[in-house]
Amino acid sequence: MKKKVLLGMSGGVDSSVSAVLLQKQGYEVIGCTMQLWEPKEENRAIQDAKQICDQLGISHFCVNCQQEFRTKVVDHFIHEYQEARTPNPCVECNHYLKFGIFYQKAKELGCDYIATGHYANIEFSKKYHQYVLRKSQEEKKDQTYFLYSIPKEKLKFILFPLQHYANKEDIRKIAKENNLFIAQKKDSQEICFIPDNCYPKFLRKYGKYKSHKGNIVLKSGKVLGQHQGLIHYTIGQRKGLGISYSEPLYVIELDQEKNEVIVGLEEELYKKTLYAEDVNWMISDQLDKMIKCKAKIRYRSTEAGATLYPEGDRIKVVFDVEQRAVTPGQSVVFYDEEGIVLGGGKIDKD
């Protein structure tokens, strides 16, 4: 009897090729598209996913998760910006929707597994005696940074069909060989619910956020100009500050209490220590002693050597080398020397 898989279908090339690969591996595949945001933004994706499923001879349905998406992802996004942090909505969506509600839907349907088109590996580790999440062979596309919040108990029920492929062109080649019309469809680059990538406009519309002007200052307190509202700025930003100085200046801190954007020289962006909260451990149940590992503080950054220390409800992370633009609200993810994800959490304010 064939094992049954519920596959998340976005209408893109990655999930479509995942359907092809799962079929060839002998699984019974059911395609499912999650309706997350406004229908006018998602109709094309739903139509493309349904057309692919029709072509492959597999069933397809949609599940409406708009209320949960608004509550768990969008409202969180708005709240974080209001608290002068820079959130990562993909992490929230993966935790609550793609590997939360979607996983429960698969169980209701009697599916053995769920699958998505993520670039990451899941395998059984003899070293840890459990299923683990490991970095993808496709280094540039590796998405483990966004997946660290998956409960480790669910890993054995998750399939990533693309995990053995080294580059995106191989995926597009498979799509073309199987006559999938989406073979050259462009990857989505922006946050799905902000297609024009204009965060301030979105926050004003959906968060009813009102920008409050304030001062742009040096650490010394010297006022250099005025900002247009903290939501317009993030740590490390240089362009668009609207101030003049003898040397290039960067945003080094957002002070919500004083409503100030604090700027400084580039060297002031670097720090060795950060604190992480809301940590999910994928190997152990908790951190009860100091450990050494590798860690990264943003999707596009490279892991760096670090030492982790338990500090109550938080984790203290001390890097071997100073890191640039440590940003509260973003994630820090921990890896061992083999690229296995140990866990991760959200960067907290000091």
Catalytic residue (one of 32, 65, 90, 93) = 93
Q: Which residues pair with 113 in a beta bridge?
A: 5
Q: Kindly state the average pLDDT of the residues 312-337.
A: 97
Q: Poorest-confidence range of 57-71, 191-205, 262-276, 316-330?
A: 191-205
pLDDT of res. 350 = 86
pLDDT of res. 139 = 77
Is the pLDDT higher at 123 or at 1? 123
Instruction: Give yes or no: 62 in active site.
Output: no
Q: Which residues of 28-67 are buried (b: 16+ CB within 10 A; e: fewer)?
A: ebbbbbbbbbeeeebeebbebbbbbbeebebebeeeebee
CATH number of the 4-117+161-177 domain: 3.40.50.620
Domain spans of the chain?
Answer: 4-117+161-177, 211-264, 270-348
- Alpha-carbon span 162 to 138, nearest angstrom: 9
Q: Poorest-confidence range of 9-13, 141-145, 207-211?
A: 207-211
- Alpha-carbon span 265 to 313, nearest angstrom: 33
Q: Is 270-348 assigned to CATH 2.40.30.10?
A: yes
pTM as predicted: 0.94
**pLDDT-derived band at 188, boundaries 50, 70, 90:** confident
Cα angle vertex 218, ends 213, 221, to 5°?
A: 80
Q: Poorest-confidence range of 6-10, 166-170, 261-265?
A: 166-170
Instruction: Give yes or no for residue 40 having a pLDDT over 70.
Output: no
Instruction: Give yes or no for residue 119 having a pLDDT over 90.
Output: yes
Instruction: Give yes or no for residue 187 having a pLDDT over 90.
Output: no
Q: Which residues pair with 141 in a beta bridge?
A: none
- Alpha-carbon span 278 to 159, nearest angstrom: 25
**pLDDT-derived band at 19, boundaries 50, 70, 90:** very high
DSSP 8-state class, residue 187? P
pLDDT of res. 16 = 97
Is the pLDDT higher at 195 or at 94? 94
CATH number of the 211-264 domain: 2.30.30.280
pLDDT of res. 190 = 73
Q: How many angstroms separate the Cα of 230 from the Cα of each of 83, 186, 212?
A: 9, 33, 8
Instruction: Give yes or no for residue 269 having a pLDDT over 80.
Output: yes
pLDDT tens by residue, 156-165:
999 999 998 8
pLDDT of res. 142 = 92
Q: Kindly state the average pLDDT of the residues 10-32.
A: 97
Q: Kindly state the average pLDDT of the residues 259-271.
A: 97
Q: At what angle do helices 168-177 and 13-24 cross, to 10 degrees?
A: 70
Q: β-strands 158-159, 113-115: how paired?
A: parallel
Cβ distance 72 to 52 under 8 Å? no
| 3-state class (DSSP) for residue 104 | helix
Q: Residue 209 CB: number of other CB atoms within 10 A? A: 17
Instruction: Give yes or no for residue 197 having a pLDDT over 90.
Output: no
pLDDT of res. 123 = 97
Instruction: Give yes or no for residue 41 having a pLDDT over 70.
Output: no
Instruction: Give yes or no: 111 in active site.
Output: no
pLDDT of res. 38 = 79
DSSP 8-state class, residue 70? I
Alpha helices in the chain (DSSP H): 13-24, 39-56, 66-69, 75-82, 89-93, 102-108, 168-177, 199-206
- Alpha-carbon span 50 to 31, nearest angstrom: 8
Instruction: Give yes or no for residue 154 having a pLDDT over 80.
Output: yes
Per the prediction, the chain carries an average pLDDT of: 94
Alpha helices in 160-283 (DSSP H): 168-177, 199-206
